[in-house]
């Protein structure tokens, strides 16, 4: 799981004012990799399975539980969509030979502007943010309700 708090321009939930006069809110941006992108990560860098989950279900568990954790700490949670090609390009641009959790965390906020953070949890009755064609409460929500192993 890659998670990094950042201040994002958000006129709806201001926490404080930035030097530029805009209202900002603390948002924890976790990178969620869709199934196809996720499958390529451990396929290319097997050691990353420890950080992103060995399979897609484990990845969804990591992200959902991470969102539960940061929101319990009073930080707004959200996700950005990670793409394998973008991550691979970022790894190459940074000259990283063996990407790790630090690489995943650094990639997260760099690749997506603040307005690309998808708010969490989804509104009542909305489809799950993982892309499954079911409601959030029947898909990923239960994943965040267990404890960390």
What pLDDT, on the 0 to 100 scale, is given for residue 73?
Answer: 79
What pLDDT, on the 0 to 100 scale, is given for residue 61?
Answer: 86
Name residues whose C-beta falls within 8 Å of residue 55's C-beta, 6 or more positions apart in sequence: none
Instruction: Give the separation between CA 98 and CA 133, rounded to whole angstroms.
Output: 35
**Three-class SS of 102-148:** HHHHHHHHHHCCHHHCEECCCCCCCECCCCCCCEHHHCCHHHHHCCC
Indicate the domain borders of the chain: 3-145
What does the pLDDT profile of the chain (149 residues) look like in tens digits?
Answer: 444 443 333 333 434 444 555 544 555 668 889 889 999 999 999 999 998 999 988 998 888 888 888 888 777 777 888 889 999 999 999 999 999 988 988 887 555 665 566 777 777 788 887 877 888 888 887 776 654 44
């Amino acid at each position: 799981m890659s998670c990094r708090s950042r201040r994002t321009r958000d006129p709806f939930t201001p926490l404080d004012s930035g030097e530029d006069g805009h209202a900002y809110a603390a948002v924890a941006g976790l990178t969620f990799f869709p199934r196809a992108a996720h499958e390529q990560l451990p396929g290319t860098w097997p050691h990353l399975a420890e950080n992103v989950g060995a399979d897609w279900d484990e990845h969804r568990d990591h992200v959902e539980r991470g969102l539960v954790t940061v929101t319990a700490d009073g930080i707004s949670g959200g996700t950005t969509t990670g793409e394998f090609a973008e991550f691979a390009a970022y790894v190459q641009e940074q000259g990283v030979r063996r990407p790790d959790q630090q690489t995943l965390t650094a990639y997260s906020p760099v690749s997506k502007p603040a307005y690309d953070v998808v708010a969490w949890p989804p509104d009542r009755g909305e489809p799950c943010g993982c892309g499954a064609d079911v409601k959030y409460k029947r898909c990923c929500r239960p994943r965040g309700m267990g404890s960390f192993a």
